[in-house]
Amino acid sequence: MSKIGVIMGSKSDLPVMQDAIDILKGFDIEVEVDIVSAHRTPEKLFDYGKNAHSRGFSVIIAGAGGAAHLPGMIASLSPLPVIGVPVKSSNSIDGWDSVLSILQMPGGVPVATVALNGA
């Protein structure tokens, strides 16, 4: 059975991302949760993005605040669908920077985007 990866840029994103985790578990979907920062752990990000499909993931849900690079970076490395969750963080511009960063991916690097804090 396939599984879903739920990743976030910081443990401070977990309260928002917990909703997605709870819903997936409620449907008996296997979920693996991890902190993968585009800025603090770029080597981990590259490894995760390049190898997620071979580890049995079918979708990646990536939550990020501020400049919100995580969803787009993962999408650029992985053939899997990526769902970006913009997170209103303490360093964001009322969450708009996160929303716009995830919405405005370049052509060829699609990221599905949900509402601010909409995990």
Whether 63 is in a domain gets the answer yes
Are the CB atoms for 37 and 10 separated by under 8 Å?
yes
- How many CA atoms lie within 13 Å of 73's alpha carbon, on the beta-carbon side? 22
119 within domain boundaries: no
Classify residue 118: in a domain, yes or no. no
Q: Which residues are annotated as a binding site?
A: 10, 13, 40
Render pLDDT for 50-73 as a digit per residue (tens, 0 to 9).
Answer: 999 999 999 999 999 888 889 999
pLDDT digit string, tens, across residues 81-102: 999 999 998 777 888 888 888 8
Of the candidates 96, 67, 85, the residue with the CA atom closest to the CA atom of residue 19: 85
Enter the pTM of the model. 0.93
Count of the separate structural domains present in the chain: 1
Minimal CA–CA distance to 84: which of 26, 67, 29, 93?
Answer: 67
Least Cα distance to 66 among 25, 12, 118 occurs for 12
CATH number of the domain residue 23 falls in:
3.40.50.1970
Known binding-site positions for substrate: 10, 13, 40
Among residues of the chain, what percentage have pLDDT more than 70? 99
Question: What per-residue confidence (pLDDT) applies to 2?
Answer: 78
The answer to whether residue 91 is domain-embedded is yes
Residue 31 lies in a domain: yes
For tokens 């990221």, what's the residue? 111
The reported pLDDT for the residue numbered 1 is 62
- Show the domain range for 91: 3-113
